[in-house]
A and B are shown apart, each in its own frame.
Chain A
Amino acid sequence: MLGALIKKEIQANVLSFRFVAVAALLLIVVPVAVLVLSTDAAKKVDEFSSRRSGIETYLKSYAHFNRLQNVIQPAQPPLASYALVRGISSDVNIEEFDDDPLPVMFPLLDLTFVVAILLSLAALIFSYDALCGEKEDGTLKLMLANGVPRAKILLGKIVGGTLTLLVPFLLSLVLGLIVILLNPRVAWGGSDWAALAVLLAGAAVYVLFFLVLGVFISARHQSSSASIMTSLCVWVLFVLVVPNLSPYFASLVSPAPSRIKISREASRLTDVERDDLGKRLAAEKMKELVRQYPALAENLSEAESKARAEKDPAYKEALQARVREVGAAWTEANRIQGAKAKELWDDMRRKEEAQTKLAGAVSMVSPLSDFTFLATDLTSSGLMNERHFEQLSRLWEQSYGDYVRARIGALQKQDPAVDWWNSPVDVSDMPRFQYKQEPLAARIAGTFLPLGILAGLALLAFAAAYFSFVKYDVR
């Protein structure tokens, strides 16, 4: 029975105008997008290798430890998966004078985008009249006059709709993948294909959610023209508004101090306030010292005190104690104020992290963000990769620091007269920063949460659709 229902759904869909329109759009947009993206990815690979060789040429003649670290900053190499998914990899670099603001105006078009916007819209177009449309045509009445349970009709509609939508999408993607395979400079490995498979599973659940949502809305309406209005409004909220508002919302609810403010305050702590504290501590120390060495209380000029120190060993000792104690007082002041500044920074970072977490959590109400996080994390172009990259950079910085200390030590032993910090040195044995993608297992594990939420949302929508349909007046 279910088979017959699904077959009927698929046949009705395939013959419909909307199927032809959606299929035509996907078959054009996806291959074209992949063609442009893979050309761009290949270009990025070329540029990256020329950047690398530029650095190596520099290192041969001008490597010197004092400024070397500015030249060999860790850089994210372009990945093979950039031919399909870009995520937040585009460099809207806000810290350079010559920035590239175009992606701020128009974000890139990639596979995530096609699925997130086009497929979800298509899913609603396929399902907004699933029940109310058949009611209007009178076929729903006839169907129920046979002994078909409503659950089966619902299931048949959902399965048939999902299949008819996914098939043209997969076809268009196959065309896109052929483009990728034909481009020899975009080398896809086994883990890229595996990641794509998981991504497609996520896309299927995402599409399923919107299809079920459309069926649910159609079960709440008596006319399909009202149903499409509700569907589109819900779609706009879920897809175009909630994700975009979520970071702003999070910054209102869980505010983090601005970085500018913190850096101003921190520099005040370690500058003006440190001087005040240092002077105060030094004065206190001086009071104690004067009690111990009354000679220090005399106000002598520098020359006089020098002359006296030569004659009077007790006075010399007192002077040395003064230097020592005052130095200790300043060190103490530095330590206290440094700790305060560090606490300020740490507090800001904690708050920023909390805000990011909240923004992520709020945005995950929207299936679009769930799918975006899933797709970008799988292809190492999202938040997970950002953290991973930071960790790799830190590790590399440590090994680089060790290397510099060891080299400088050895060189200074060789010839202590030379200023090795500012002299060209041979650094061919220096550890280079090597980016390694996070292992596939970890990336897949990271998708459990968004995938789970998507599946949960789909189930919820299904339950809602079921209960609405059971109570639906089919006349």
Chain B
Amino acid sequence: MIGTIVKKEIASNLLSYKFFVVILLMTLLLATSFFVLYKDFKGRQADYELVRPKPGEAIAVLAPNPLSIFAKGLDEAMTRSFEVGPIGIQVRAGQKSGNAVFAFFPAPDFVYIVKVVLSLVALLFGFDQISRERETGVLRLMMSNSVSRAKVLTGKWLGNYLSLAVPFLLVALIGFLLMTLDPQVRFGAMGTGRFLLLLAVALLYIALFLSLGILVSALTRRAAASLVVLLLIWAVAVFVLPNLGTLVARQLVDVPSVKALSEKRQQTWTREILLAIVEGRAQGRQAVDANRKTHLEAINTEFDKLEHDYRLKFDRLVRLSKTINRLSPAASFVYAATELAGTGIGEESRLKDEIVRYKDAVFQDFDQGRKDHAAFAYRYRSAGQVLAQGGMFDLGWLAAFTVVLFGLGFAAFVRYDVR
């Protein structure tokens, strides 16, 4: 019985204007996004070849992450070059572009398209499932047969989910396969596995919004009202909550601004260098070197303290904003997707820890007068680690949302007056 309903849903979808426009839009957007971000990745890869440190140099630079084509996240911040010198870590602007329009709008990557457009598309598939069929009278006819409401709802859900998910998967997989043809974009087995996981998260996210659509549709008498409610919920969940949540978290945790921190650093090192020179002048030639060393150490300790203090506060801000933002499934999706791709906040923070550790090792080299430094090596967290450190929570959260919404939808449908 469910099979028949699923078939009927898919058939009616395939013939509808809605399916045509919406799938066209999705295909177009995904294809454009893949192409544009693939080109962007190639450009950054070419840049990386230029800044790649020579053996012995104390420079930490990561190669651009091929998965950033799908989830750009913080990849641009992570692939900057960090040079270790006598007064700490110097950051080169990396691949910052002179094109100022980039600053205005978020990158249109796969994650963005799924987060914004696919969620909307899923709602469009769900919003009229119950209320429209009541309006047209189909629902009454269907219920006059001996079919349980649970089966009708499951059939509807599956039919619509398949007619949305299959074209989506096809486009995404074809795009991915085309990219693997380029020998310079090396996803490897790991990357492929992570991309598939990314797709799974996206499918879960779409399921959530489809369930939401069906729920609201079962709560309203008219499809038009259902759509209005859904669009507003969508705007709040996708845009308002996560964007406002971060700002609210900032009010609750006192984190110094980046500019304030950088000014403090400038003041510290210029002060210590001056003191070294002035004291050296007063004490005569022999004392200069010893003096210089103590002041460089002072700079280093002060910098480490500033850095440590900032990271503590910033981590607290990140945790709090994550907690607040997770009210919105869109934020959960972004966290899970970017962390899986290795371009998320957690990965960036871990990279910074590693770089600080690398700096300490290079400083030991300086102390022992060694000129050759070991190369910086960074291993991204494995997918298992990512899942264990919050990824699983986001996935579970999305799944729980979906199940609850579907359950509520079922409860509402059972009590629905189909006349």
> What is the interface of chain A, defined by CB distance below 8 A to chain B?
17-18, 21-22, 25, 29, 32-33, 36-37, 39-40, 43-44, 47, 50-51, 54-55, 58, 62, 64, 67-68, 70-71, 73, 75, 88, 91-109, 113, 117-118, 121, 125, 129, 224-226, 228-230, 232-233, 236-237, 240-241, 243-252, 256, 258-261, 264, 348-349, 352-353, 355-356, 359-360, 363, 369, 372, 376, 383, 386, 419, 422-424
Contacts and interface: CB of A to CB of B under 8 A. Distances in A.
Nearest to A235: B120
A359 B243 contact: no
A341 B220 CA distance: 68
Given A40-B247, A67-B273, A259-B93, A97 B352 contact: yes
Given A106-B242, A108-B243, A233-B21, A51 B260 contact: yes
Interface residues of B, number: 106
A36 B248 CA distance: 6
Contacts, number: 276
B399 interface: no
A352 B98 contact: yes
A103 B73 CA distance: 11
B35 to A, nearest CB: 9
Contact of B25 (A44, A70, A236, A383): A236
Contacts of A94: 76-77, 80, 91, 93-94, 96
Contacts of A250: 99, 101
Contacts of A236: 25, 29, 116-117, 120
A62 B73 CA distance: 41
Contact of A232 (B89, B101, B124, B245): B124
A95 B132 contact: no
A245 B36 contact: yes
Contact of B274 (A62, A118, A225, A243): A62
A54 B225 contact: no
A117 B231 CA distance: 11
Given A47-B260, A99-B258, A117 B239 contact: yes
A92 B378 CA distance: 24
B314 A98 contact: yes
A474 to B, nearest CB: 20
Contact of B310 (A17, A98, A232, A352): A98
A353 B101 CA distance: 11
Given A225-B128, A261-B50, A386-B100, A109 B259 contact: no
A237 B25 CA distance: 9
Contacts of A348: 98
A259 to B, nearest CB: 7
A91 B257 contact: yes
Interface centre among B51, B229, B244, B261 (most CB of A within 10 A): B244
A439 B348 CA distance: 41
Given A62-B270, A109-B240, A258-B47, A88 B93 contact: no
B235 A96 contact: no
A44 B255 CA distance: 11
A372 B257 contact: no
Interface string B67-97: 0000001101100101000001101111111
B246 A106 contact: yes
Contacts of B21: 229-230, 233
Contacts of B244: 32-33, 36, 109
B77 A104 contact: yes
A25 B92 CA distance: 44
Interface in B221-242: 223-225, 227-229, 231-232, 235-236, 239-240, 242
A36 B261 contact: no
A299 B337 CA distance: 72
Contact of B77 (A50, A101, A229): A101
Interface in B247-289: 247-248, 250-251, 255-264, 266-267, 270-271, 273-275, 277-278, 281
Nearest to B25: A233
B338 interface: yes
B259 A355 contact: no
A386 B92 CA distance: 21
B355 to A, nearest CB: 8
B394 to A, nearest CB: 13
Given A241-B29, A363-B101, A100 B223 contact: no
A429 to B, nearest CB: 20
Closest 5 CB pairs of A and B: A352-B98, A359-B101, A109-B243, A67-B270, A244-B108
B50 A58 contact: no
Nearest to A104: B74
A236 B334 CA distance: 19
Contacts of B372: none
A58 B267 CA distance: 7
Contacts of A33: 244
Contacts of A75: 259, 263
Interface in B1-53: 17-18, 21-22, 25, 29, 32, 36-37, 39-40, 43, 46-47, 50-51
B325 interface: yes
A105 B335 CA distance: 9
Contacts of B384: none
A251 B20 CA distance: 31
Contact of A360 (B101, B229, B256): B101
B321 interface: yes
